A and B are shown apart, each in its own frame.
Chain A
C-alpha cells in the first residue's frame, strides 16, 4: 500500500492541533468539531490499519522511512508490529472518547489543541522505529499533559502538575544519556552513526557490562512512567488532580509508554542485561501489584483509589514482560490494552459522579445504585473487568501473564496471584460504599446516566465484553511479534530457563475426544 498510513495517523492530529491554534477563540463550536473529527479520523485510519495488518508477519509493517537529520543518521521512521498495533488502536479509541465524554467546560480552544498534540505525540512514540524520533515524541507528551493538569485540574493541580513534569523529566534524563551513549558506542565500534532501532538491536558492539548500565538508564526512565514501585508517587497526585480527560489519557495511554518502552527498547536493545536483571524487575513488579492493591484499599478519594489500582495492574504487565515466555509477554501486551479500556472507563465514570456530586470522597457518597441504576450497572461491569472476571477483557491478560510467569518464575507468580484476591477486595469495598446502602441527601436524587454519556461508554463496554469473549483476533496479531522478541531474547540473552512447552497436539488422539 502506497498511502503513508502511519505518517497520516501521526500527522492528522498534529495538523488538527495547528488548525485549532489558528482558529479564533470565539469559535468554540468549530474547535470542538475539528477536535472530534480529527480524533475520529485517526480512529478510522487505525481501523484500516488493523484490518490490513498481516497476521503472519512478525516484523514491522507499513514502514515509512525518510531521512530527517542526515548528519546524525536520524530518520523519520515509522512502523507497526503486533505489539504497537494494539497500543495505537487503544490510543485511537480513547482520545475521541475522552474528548466527547469529558470535554472542556472552559477555554475549549487550548484544551482541544493540547489534546491533539498529546495524541500525535503518543502515536508517534508507539510507531517510532528511530530512537531519536521516539525520544522527541516521548518528551513532547509531557508538555500538553502538564498544561492539561495545571490548567483544567482540581484544587491541588499546580503541585501535581509540577511533580509529574519534573519526576518524569528526571527519568527522561537517564533515557537521553543512555540513548546517546548507545549510539556513540555503536559508532565507535562500527563507524556507523545511526539511531535506527533494528540496527542497534542486532548490534553486538556493546559489551555486556556496559549494556547493563544502559539497560538501567533506559529502564529507569520507563519505570518512572509505568510507574514501577517505588517510583509511583507522582501518579496518584497527577491522576487525582487531572481533569477527567487527562486522567483517562494518562492512565489509558501514557502509562503504556513506560511498559511499551521497556518491551520495545530496554528488552530489545539489551536482552542480556534484561535477562540478568529480570529478578530485580520481577520483584519490583510483584511488590507493586500487591502494594498498590493494599494501598488502594485505604484511599478515601475514589480517583486516588483507581490510581493505585493502576500501580497494581501495571505491575502485571512488567511481570509478564520479564517472564520471557510467549504467554507472559503476550499477556503483558493484552493487559496494556485492557488496563487502558477498564481504567479509562473507570475514570470517566468517576468523572460523571464528580460532575453530579462535586465530590470524590467515598465517605460522602453512598447508595447511588438506587437513583442511578444504569450508571451503577456500567460501573459494575467495568469493575468486574478490572477485577479480572473471565469473559470480560481483564482476565485474558492476567491469566496469560500469571501462567506465563509461573512456568519460568514460579514463586513470583504465586505472590502475584494474591493480587488477584486483593483487587476484588478494594474494588468491591469501594463499590459497596459508593453504590450500596440507602442513599441520603444529595445522593438520593443523583441524576442517572443520560443517553449521551451512555453513547460514550458504549464502545468501551463493547470492547470490554468483546475482547473477553473473543480475544483471538487480538492474540493472533500479537503473538508472532512477541514470539520474535522472545526468540531474540533467548538467542542474545543466553536465556537458560526452559520456556513453556507449547501445547503439542495430542499424541494419542481419541483417548477422550
Chain B
C-alpha cells in the first residue's frame, strides 16, 4: 500500500489545478466540495500508506520514493519520505485539513471569492504535505516557504481591509527573518557534510564539531521561531487572525505553525549533538509559553485569545523538544491540533452566528442559542485546560514530566503557565457561553461601531451542518486522543513505540512512579482550582479587573519593535534613497558630467578660428621647444 504515498500530495495538487482552471465556473459551493474531496482523498491515501508501513518491521519503516532529480549539483531529489514521523504528520494534516475544508464550505458561503479561497486552501495543503514528506532539508524548505506564501495569501484574503493586507505582509516578512536562519543552517550543513538529504546528513553528522552542530541547531531554531511564532518572532501570529477563521484553525493553529516543532523533531539527531542548543530551545519554549499565556489572560477578541494560546502551547512543544522529549512534543502537537482546531472553528461558528462580532465582552449566554457550538467548545476548553481525562491532560503531563527531569525551574514555569491556560480559557468560555448576553454599546470603546445600530439578539443562530459536523468530530477526538500515549506502561505508549525509529534516542533520567503520579496530580488539582477561580471572578457582576493594559498590549513588544526597528529602518532607507543615492552617488555622476561640459566650454575658447592666434600659439611652441633643446644640449 506504500505506492499510495504519491497520491498524498498528488490529490491536493490535482484539486488545486482543477480549481485554478475551473474554479470560477464551479462556483459556490461546488468548488468547496471539490477541494474537500481532494484533501479527503489525500487523507485516505495517507491511511493506506500508514497501513503499508504498519505491515513492516520497525527498522524498515522508512521508505523513500524518488520522483525526479531537482538540483543535481546539490544532490537533491524531489522525493517522498514515508516514515512514522512523516506519516503521523501527514495523517493529522490531511485529517484535520479535510474537516476544516468541510467547515469552510459553510463558513465562506456567499463570499465573493469563494473559489479562490479553496484554491489557496488546496495549495496550502499541498505545500504542507511537501514540507512533511520531503526527504531533504531543501525540499522541506520548498514546502516551508510554500505554506508561508499561502499563509500570506489567506491572511490578506479580505485584502480590501487594510489591516488584513498589513497583517499578511507582516507575517511573510517576519517569517522571512526566520527563513534566513534556516537558509544559513542549510549552508552550514552543506559545507560541513556535503549533503542536504536527511539520511546523509544524519549519518555523517558525527563528523561535525560541536560548535558547528550547535550553530546549525540554533539557526534551525531561528527558522522554527519564525514559523512557530516563538519569542522574539511571534508578533505576526496575533495579527494573522485577520484571515478568515478556517484559515486560523488550519494554518495558524493546527498545521503550519507546528512546522517548527516538526523541523526540530526531524532534526533530533543533530539536536543530540548540541546539548547547549537544546537548553536554549527549552528556555525559548518555556519563556514563550509563559509570556503568551499572560497576554492571553487580557485579550478581549475571541480569536486573539486563541492566537496567544496557540503561541503558548507551541512554547510547550518547544520546551518538550528542548528537554529531549520529542514524542511528548509530537503528542502534544497532535492533541493540540484537535482541540485548538476545535476551539477556532467554534469561535468561527460564534463569529458567524453573531454576524462578525469578535469582542467577547459583547457576548454571553451563547450556550443556549448555539447548543452544538457551545457543547463542543466546552469539550475543547476542558481538553486545553488539562482536565483529566481529556486529551490535553495527557500530553501536557508528559511535557511537564520531561521538564521536571531537566530542571525544576522549567517545570515550575511550565506549571504556572498550565494554570494560567486554565484561567484564560475559562475566562473565554464564561464570557462567551455563560451568563447573559451583554448588549452592544455596553463598552464605550465600541460606541461608534456600525453594528450597534441594529439589534441582533433575535437572529443569533446555530451554524449549518457543514460547520457543526467538523466540530463534533474534533470534539470526539479531543476527548479520547489521550489514549494514543497513556503513561501507565510501555504497552500503552503506542505513539512512543510507533515514532521511536524515526527519532534520535534521548537518554532521559528515570523517574520513580510515585514522582510521576505526584507530577500528574499537582497540575490537575491546580487547573481545577484555576477554573473555579475564573468562574467566580468572571461571573461576578462588576466585570473585569485582572486585565492590565501592559498585558493587553502584549508587554509592548510590538510597539518596541516599531520604535527600534521600523522607524529607524524607514529613516535609514529614506536617507539611503534620497541622500546617498540621489545626491551623493548620482550627484557625483552628474558632477563629472557637468565638469566635462564646463571644461569643454573653456577649451572651446582656444579654437577661435583666427589664424593669428594659432600662429602665436605655434611661435610659443617653437620657442619653448628650442629652449628645451638648448637646455638639454647644454653642459
Known: A367-B160, A472-B68. A502 touches B183 (CB 8 A): no
User: A94 interface residue, CB < 8 Å from B?
Assistant: no
Contact present for B581 and A389 (CB under 8 Å): no
- Interface residues in A385-426 by Cβ distance below 8 A to B read 389-391, 395-396, 399-400, 402-403, 406-407, 413-414, 417-418, 420-421, 424-425
Q: Is the Cβ of A424 less than 8 Å from the Cβ of B72?
A: no
**Is the C-beta of B71 less than 8 angstroms from some C-beta in chain A?**
yes
Q: Does B443 contact A (CB under 8 A)?
A: no
Contacts of A503 in B (CB 8 A): 74-75, 194-195, 200
Q: Which residue of B116, B159, B195 is within 8 Å of A436 (Cβ)?
A: B159
B347 at the interface (CB under 8 A from A): no
Give the CA-CA distance A230 to B172 in the complex, in Å: 30
Contact B199 A475 (CB under 8 A): no
B71 touches A390 (CB 8 A): no
Cβ B73 vs Cβ A327 within 8 A = yes
A302 to B172, CA, bound (A): 21
Q: Could you tell me if B184 and A414 are in contact, using CB atoms closer than 8 angstroms?
A: yes
Q: Is B70 an interface residue (CB 8 A)?
A: yes
A396 to B159 Cα, complex, angstroms: 30
Q: Does A134 contact B (CB under 8 A)?
A: no
Among B75, B145, B581, the residue within 8 A (CB) of A295 is: B581
**Choice from B159, B179, B184 contacting A369 with Cβ under 8 Å:** B159
Total number of residue pairs linking A and B with CB closer than 8 Å: 162
Q: Are A295 and B159 in contact (CB under 8 A)?
A: no
On whether the beta carbons of A402 and B183 are closer than 8 Å, the reply is: yes
Quick check: which of B185-193, B333-341, B410-418 contacts chain A, the rest being far away? B185-193
Contact with B along A365-378 (1 / 0, CB 8 A): 00101100100000
Q: Cβ of A367: which chain B residues have Cβ within 8 Å of it?
A: 159-160
C-alpha spacing A236/B202, complex, angstroms? 47
Give the distance to chain B from A511, nearest Cβ to Cβ, in Å: 4
Please determine whether A167 and B191 come into contact, CB atoms closer than 8 angstroms: no
Query: Could you say which of A61-69, A205-213, A427-435 contacts chain B?
Result: A427-435
The answer to whether A479 touches B573 (Cβ under 8 A) is no
C-alpha gap A421/B172 in the complex (Å): 9
Measured between C-beta atoms, what is the minimum distance from A457 to chain B in Å? Answer: 15
Residues 482-509 of A, flagged 1 when their CB comes within 8 A of B and 0 if not, give 0000000000000000001111101010
The residues of A that contact B177 with a CB separation of less than 8 Å are 421
> Which residues of A have CB within 8 Å of B64?
513
Which B residues from 129 to 164 make CB contacts under 8 A with A?
A: 138, 141-142, 145-146, 149, 152-153, 156, 159-160, 162, 164
Q: A297 → chain B, closest Cβ, in Å?
A: 5
Contact yes or no, B576 A399, CB < 8 A? no
B141 touches A436 (CB 8 A): no
List B residues 574-598 near A (Cβ within 8 Å): 574, 576-578, 581, 585-586, 589, 593
Question: Does B198 touch A at the CB level, under 8 Å?
Answer: yes
Bound together, the chains give a CA A472 to CA B68 distance in angstroms of 9
Given contacts A390-B145, A432-B165, A506-B199, contact A294 B70 (CB under 8 A): no
Q: Which of chain A's residues 211-266 have a Cβ closer than 8 Å to chain B?
A: 230, 232-234
Q: Which chain B residues in 78-98 approach chain A with CB under 8 Å?
A: none
The answer to whether B73 touches A413, judged by C-beta atoms less than 8 angstroms apart, is no
Contact present for A506 and B146 (CB under 8 Å): no
Within 8 Å CB of A399, what residues of B?
A: 71, 138, 183
Least Cβ–Cβ distance between A473 and chain B, in angstroms: 10
The interface residues of chain A lying within 8 Å CB-to-CB of B191 are 406-407, 500
A298 touches B573 (CB 8 A): yes
Interface size on B, residues (CB 8 A): 61
Contact between B165 and A475, CB atoms less than 8 A apart: no
Chain A min CB distance to B168 (Å): 8
B149 touches A513 (CB 8 A): no
Q: Are B145 and A512 in contact (CB under 8 A)?
A: no
What 1/0 flags go to A274-309 for Cβ under 8 Å of B? 000000000000000001001101110000000000
B-side contacts of A513, CB under 8 Å? 62-64, 199
B141 touches A390 (CB 8 A): yes
Q: CA of A294 to CA of B593 in the docked complex: distance in angstroms? A: 27
Q: Are A472 and B70 in contact (CB under 8 A)?
A: yes
Report if A384 contacts B (CB, 8 A): yes
Dominant SS at the B interface?
helix
The residue in chain A whose Cβ has the minimal distance to the Cβ of B502 is A512
Partner of B183, one of A370, A417, A425: A417
A202 partner residues in chain B, CB cutoff 8 A? none
Known: A327-B74, A438-B160, A513-B63. A294 touches B577 (CB 8 A): yes
Answer yes or no: B535 CB below 8 A from chain A CBs: no
Cα A299 to Cα B160 with chains together (Å): 23
Query: Quick check: B63 and A421 within 8 Å, CB to CB?
Result: no
Contact with A along B50-73 (1 / 0, CB 8 A): 000000000000111000111111
B461 within 8 A of A: no
* Among A166, A297, A428, A476, contact of B593 (Cβ-Cβ < 8 Å): A166
Residues of B within 8 A of A417 (CB): 180, 183-184
Are A479 and B146 in contact, CB atoms less than 8 angstroms apart? no
**Would A475 and B71 count as touching, CB distance under 8 A?**
yes
Q: Which of B70, B153, B184, B585 contacts A471 (CB 8 A)?
A: B70
A370 to B113, CA, bound (A): 10
B165 touching A506, Cβ below 8 Å = no
Determine if B146 and A298 form an interchain contact, defined as CB atoms under 8 angstroms apart.
Answer: no
Contacts A299-B577, A396-B71 given; indicate if A420 touches B176 (C-beta within 8 A).
Answer: yes
CA distance A90 to B593 in the complex (A): 34
Residues of chain A contacted by B593 (CB below 8 angstroms): 163, 166
- The reply to whether A298 and B159 form a contact with Cβ atoms under 8 Å apart is no
Q: Using an 8 Å CB-CB cutoff, how does the interface string of B608-620 with A read, 1 for contact, 0 for none?
A: 0000000000000
Query: A295 to B62, alpha carbons, bound, how many Å?
Result: 49
How many whole Å from A242's CB to the nearest CB in chain B? 17
Q: Known contacts A512-B199, A513-B63: does B194 contact A402 (CB below 8 Å)?
A: no
Do the beta carbons of B172 and A424 come within 8 Å of each other? Answer: yes
Contacting B73 at CB < 8 Å: which of A370, A425, A437, A475?
A475
B203 to chain A, nearest CB (A): 4
Expressed in whole angstroms, the minimum distance between the Cβ of B47 and any Cβ of chain A is 23
Inter-chain CA distance A295–B168, complex, in Å, is 22
**Are A420 and B183 within 8 A (Cβ)?**
yes
| A residues less than 8 Å from B190 (CB atoms) | 403, 406-407, 500
Q: Which of A413, A424, A438 has a CB less than 8 Å from the CB of B173?
A: A424
Contacts of B153 in A (CB 8 A): 380
CB-contact partner of A504 in B141, B146, B165, B194, under 8 A: B194
Q: How far is the CA of A425 from the CA of B578 in the complex (A)?
A: 19
User: Are A298 and B160 closer than 8 Å at their CB atoms?
Assistant: no
* Also in contact, A389 and B573, with CB within 8 A (given A425-B173, A438-B160): no
- Let me know if B572 is at the binding interface, CB within 8 A: yes
> Which B residues touch A380, using CB under 8 A?
153
Please name the residue on chain B nearest to A295 by beta carbon. B577
> Within the complex, what minimum Cβ distance (angstroms) separates A225 from chain B?
15
A481 within 8 A of B: no
Choose among B71, B113, B589 the residue that contacts A400 (Cβ–Cβ < 8 A): B71
**Contact indicator per residue, chain B 303-325, by CB within 8 Å of chain A (1) or not (0):** 00000000000000000000000
**Is A470 an interface residue when CB atoms closer than 8 A count as contact?**
yes
- Interface residues, chain A, with chain B CB atoms under 8 Å away: 163, 166-167, 230, 232-234, 291, 294-295, 297-299, 326-327, 330, 367, 369-370, 373, 380, 384, 389-391, 395-396, 399-400, 402-403, 406-407, 413-414, 417-418, 420-421, 424-425, 428-429, 432, 435-438, 470-472, 475-476, 479, 500-504, 506, 508, 511-513
28 contacts between A and B (CB under 8 A): A163-B593, A233-B585, A297-B573, A298-B573, A298-B577, A367-B159, A370-B160, A373-B113, A389-B146, A414-B184, A424-B172, A424-B173, A428-B152, A428-B169, A428-B172, A432-B168, A471-B70, A471-B71, A472-B69, A475-B73, A500-B194, A501-B194, A502-B194, A503-B75, A503-B194, A504-B194, A511-B202, A513-B63
- Beyond A424-B173, A432-B156, A438-B160, 18 additional contacts (C-beta under 8 Å) are A163-B593, A232-B585, A233-B581, A294-B572, A295-B573, A295-B576, A298-B573, A298-B577, A396-B71, A400-B71, A406-B188, A428-B169, A428-B173, A471-B70, A500-B191, A503-B194, A504-B194, A506-B199
